[in-house]
Structure 1
Amino acid sequence: MTILMLETLDTAGMALLGEAGEVIHSPTPNAHDHSLPFDKVTAIITRGLGKLDRPLLEKCPNLKVIARCGAGLNNLDTVAAKAMNIPVVFAPGINATAVAEHVLMLIMMILRKGFRAVTEVKNSNWQYRNDMQSDDLCGKKVTLVGTGNIARKVAEYTSALSMETVMCGREGRGMQGLRDNLETHLATTDVLSLHIPADNDNDLFVDAILLNNLKPGAIVINTARGSLIDELAMVNALNDGHIAAYGADVMTTQPPPADNALINHPNTVVTPHAAALTKRTYQEMSIFTALNVVSILSGSTPDKLSIYHGAA
């Protein structure tokens, strides 16, 4: 078996793959740019950068499995994989605790002015304490868009901090059902946090209309996907003060250009798509992904949770 890596995994995961067969590395996440032994490849593994599109799958006539070390699959052509009868391995749920903690960190950094306060003190401005205008989490209403593993874990944490917590799902009615459910909460929401996958149905899900319907002074948190946010609409809402702040771990373009208006806005806190990259979680995702790829290649039965069967 020959395993093509578009990006590396944790050392424990890489060791498992190395024991199972030949591991080759694409010099960059875009395998199309390189001359590689595609005819030998039986598995392709990536994280968040490498694109597993139909042309790449078609270059590999002996391909048995493709995998994403993570939960999101927007960089894999799952439709093409299904048509070609190629199993798709991913690692849902493993990152829930790490991402939920990151969400809570962003909320605290914004509401309690944590990042700004530390920066001011480092700049010798101890008197910033007189201007902080931080606020409590307790009593705030947080509306979670989505009902998956991460949203449920966030709900545990926010409820424990005495935040009024609401989860909005589709309830079998697709994106319109989600929008309808959400609409009943926007005007009373203090914190809106996104926990839905990105697809063609929800590009720019948070647009100017949704932002305008949010409670004045609300904050928005996005640890899901950058494409969910209309960045221009968000900048405008921040500029006019209707939205107090935006906290994110993802951007539409990653890495964003240096002149990106959201990155440079004084009322944003943005981290580099690192919510799930804690030591423990990254290692667990890597091992889980590697084990299940090897299981398929060796003819064994993979963990049923590791196989993507399509959107619910």
Structure 2
Amino acid sequence: MKKNVLLLETIADEALALLEENANVFEGYTEGGLNEVLGRIEVHAVITRGKGQIDKRLMDCCPDLEVVARCGVGLDNVDVAEATARKIRVVNAPGSNAATIAEHTLALMLMLMRNLYQSVERVKQHDWNWRNQYAGDELNGKTLGILGMGNIGKRVAKLGEAFGMKVLYWSRTTQNLPMEELLKQSDVISLHLPLTQETNEIIGAAQLALMKPTAFLINTARGALINHAALLDALNANTIAGFAADVLPDEPPVENLSVVQHPHALITPHTASLTAATYQRMCLLTVKNVLAILGGGAAELNSVYNRDSFI
């Protein structure tokens, strides 16, 4: 008998087709869809992406839950502790977006270092003479400081080395330099840390003050890793040279988040992992593992967050 799966958001077509072939799928993201399901149908699995919240309230409404899943890497919108306490498996897709986010990180790095954004805009405005006041530099020979050496951080390190950069790194488990020294020595600092109580606003006024006035800060991890009020002060005071990010503390940004409008900031709308290949890969991996668990089989171990909780 097919089991019932609740979707809190849309997923890739191929993943959806596989899910519909092997389970009864209910769309909780349509108007009234969630109310139609909760309390009326036995829900055995819930799948979300980045916005739909899998919290205690939802779990209370789904007493038959066996697995909750996110088609993505972070688990910010899943209450893992609550699920683990209830012996509900938690699935995500670690590593599935490492390549594309590392590429996006390097793209932002190049845009800042080479001042590409302003150059392109000036030419569109028919201002070819902008080249006479152009100011930019190159990555080759610069020092890249990476905070967080997981799948993405390691890929960024390799790409940085390929560009001729010296790589420094720091994380809780491995480092070749204390974080304070990394901040002082790096020309580009790239954040690839998970968001936890310990890493929330890990970059604040004190850390920004350690950076070179010519240094750039890149964030493609989580917006709340940075205190944005302190960041704006640093940009206004030229304490750092520029900032680029694909993530913000609030998405879409609140109106008074002036960093978005700052002339030395480049912000993309959380699109680093939205390439067709990565979106398909993360959704398929998640769905395959959800179906494996619902069928009583073994999921791929590298995509089950709390697999050791029930041994």
The match for 1:23 is 25
2:38 & 2:101 partners in 1: Cα distance? 36
Indicate conservation of the 8 Å contact 1:238/1:244, yes or no. yes
1:120-131 equivalences under 5 Å are 120-131=122-133
Normalised by the length of structure 2, the TM-score is 0.93
Q: Greater CA deviation, 120-129 or 63-72?
A: 120-129
2:258 & 2:30 partners in 1: Cα distance? 28
2:112 & 2:307 partners in 1: Cα distance? 36
The match for 1:274 is 271
Indicate conservation of the 8 Å contact 1:6/1:31, yes or no. no
The match for 1:262 is 259
1:29 & 1:155 partners in 2: Cα distance? 44
Instruction: Quickly say closer, same or farther: Cα 1:69–1:29, change in 2 above 3 A.
Output: farther
1:159 & 1:18 partners in 2: Cα distance? 44
Q: Structure 1 residue 131: deviation in Å?
A: 1.8
User: Which of these residues, 196, 199, 202, is aligned with residue 196 of structure 2?
Assistant: 199
1:127-142 equivalences under 5 Å are 127-142=129-144
Q: Structure 1 residue 124: deviation in Å?
A: 1.3
The match for 2:213 is 216
1:280-295 equivalences under 5 Å are 280-295=277-292
Indicate conservation of the 8 Å contact 2:8/2:47, yes or no. yes
Q: What amino acid sits opposite 1:158 in the alignment?
A: G
The match for 1:185 is 182
The match for 1:72 is 74
2:33 & 2:269 partners in 1: Cα distance? 23
Q: What amino acid sits opposite 2:221 in the alignment?
A: A
Considering only aligned residues, what root-mean-square deviation do their CA atoms show, in Å? 2.0
User: Which of these residues, 235, 238, 262, is aligned with residue 238 of structure 1?
Assistant: 235
Per-residue Cα deviation, 1:108-158 (whole angstroms, up to 9, x for no partner): 010011111111111111111112201011011110001100000001100
Instruction: Quickly say closer, same or farther: Cα 1:28–1:200, change in 2 above 3 A.
Output: farther
2:265 & 2:307 partners in 1: Cα distance? 34
1:95-174 equivalences under 5 Å are 95-171=97-173
1:103 & 1:53 partners in 2: Cα distance? 31
Q: Structure 1 residue 28: deviation in Å?
A: 6.0
1:27 & 1:113 partners in 2: Cα distance? 41
2:31 & 2:186 partners in 1: Cα distance? 39
Q: Greater CA deviation, 254-263 or 295-304?
A: 254-263
Which runs of 5 or more residues in structure 2 are unaligned?
Answer: none
Number of residues of Structure 1 aligned to a counterpart in Structure 2: 305
Indicate conservation of the 8 Å contact 1:6/1:29, yes or no. no
Q: What amino acid sits opposite 1:279 in the alignment?
A: A
Indicate conservation of the 8 Å contact 1:223/1:249, yes or no. yes
2:298 & 2:275 partners in 1: Cα distance? 28
Instruction: Quickly say closer, same or farther: Cα 1:29–1:266, change in 2 above 3 A.
Output: farther
User: Which of these residues, 79, 88, 93, is aligned with residue 86 of structure 1?
Assistant: 88
What SS is found at the alignment partner of 2:258?
coil
Q: Structure 1 residue 29: deviation in Å?
A: 11
2:116 & 2:171 partners in 1: Cα distance? 31
What SS is found at the alignment partner of 1:234?
helix
Instruction: Quickly say closer, same or farther: Cα 1:30–1:193, change in 2 above 3 A.
Output: farther
Q: Structure 1 residue 27: deviation in Å?
A: 2.7
Which runs of 5 or more residues in structure 1 are unaligned?
Answer: 173-177
Q: Structure 1 residue 31: deviation in Å?
A: 8.2
Per-residue Cα deviation, 1:10-64 (whole angstroms, up to 9, x for no partner): 11111111111111112369987x4433442111111111111111111101111
Asked whether 1:42 is paired with 2:39, we answer no
Indicate conservation of the 8 Å contact 1:95/1:285, yes or no. yes
Per-residue Cα deviation, 1:195-223 (whole angstroms, up to 9, x for no partner): 11001122111100000011222110000
Q: What amino acid sits opposite 2:59 in the alignment?
A: L
Indicate conservation of the 8 Å contact 1:6/1:30, yes or no. no
Indicate conservation of the 8 Å contact 2:89/2:307, yes or no. no
What SS is found at the alignment partner of 2:260?
coil
